[in-house]
Amino acid sequence: MTVVAGRRTRAGADGRGSGSGRPRGRGPGRKTLAGWAYATPTAVFVAVFFVVPIALVARMSLSEWKLFTGDNGWNAPANYEAVLEDRLLWPAVWFTVKYTALTTVILLALALGLALLVQESTRWTGFLRTSFLVPSALGLASASLLFYALYSPQSGPFETAFLGTPTSALWSTVALIVWRFAGFYMLLLLVGLQGISADVYEAARLDGANRFQTFQRITLPLLRPSIALSTIMCVTGSLLAFDQFYILTKGGPDNSTITIVQLVYNAAFQGRNDLGRAAALSILVLGVLLVVNVVQFKGLRGREN
Round to whole Å and give the CA distance between 288 and 93.
11
Query: Beta strand 70-74 with 63-66: parallel, antiparallel or unpaired?
Result: antiparallel
Shortest distance (Å) from residue 280 CB to other proteins: 10
Shortest distance (Å) from residue 265 CB to other proteins: 7
Q: How many residues does the chain have?
A: 305
Asked if 292 touches other proteins (CB under 8 A), the answer is no
Strand partners, 65: 71
Round to whole Å and give the CA distance between 183 and 133.
4
Would you say 94 or 269 has its CB closer to other proteins?
A: 269
User: Contact with other proteins (CB under 8 A): which of 66, 135, 177, 258?
Assistant: 135
Decide if 162 contacts 169 (C-beta within 8 A): yes
Q: Name residues whose C-beta falls within 8 Å of residue 140's C-beta, 6 or more positions apart in sequence.
A: 180, 243, 244
Q: Build a one-symbol-per-residue string for 218-237: x at contacts with other proteins by CB under 8 A, - elsewhere.
A: -------xx--x--------
Would you say 18 or 167 has its CB closer to other proteins?
A: 18
Asked if 17 touches other proteins (CB under 8 A), the answer is yes
Would you say 101 or 149 has its CB closer to other proteins?
A: 149
User: Contact with other proteins (CB under 8 A): which of 69, 72, 121, 130?
Assistant: 130
Which region among 78-86, 89-97, 196-204, 257-265 touches other proteins (by CB under 8 A)? 257-265
220: phi then psi, degrees, rounded to nearest 5: -60, -50
Asked if omega into 225 is within 30° of 0 (cis), the reply is: no
Q: Build a one-symbol-per-residue string for 50-89: x at contacts with other proteins by CB under 8 A, - elsewhere.
A: xxxxx-xx--x----x----x-------------------
Would you say 36 or 203 has its CB closer to other proteins?
A: 36
User: Contact with other proteins (CB under 8 A): which of 196, 201, 243, 255?
Assistant: 243
Asked if 41 touches other proteins (CB under 8 A), the answer is yes
274: phi then psi, degrees, rounded to nearest 5: -110, 95
Round to whole Å and give the CA distance between 28 and 16.
17
Query: Alpha carbon 4 to chain centroid distance?
Result: 13
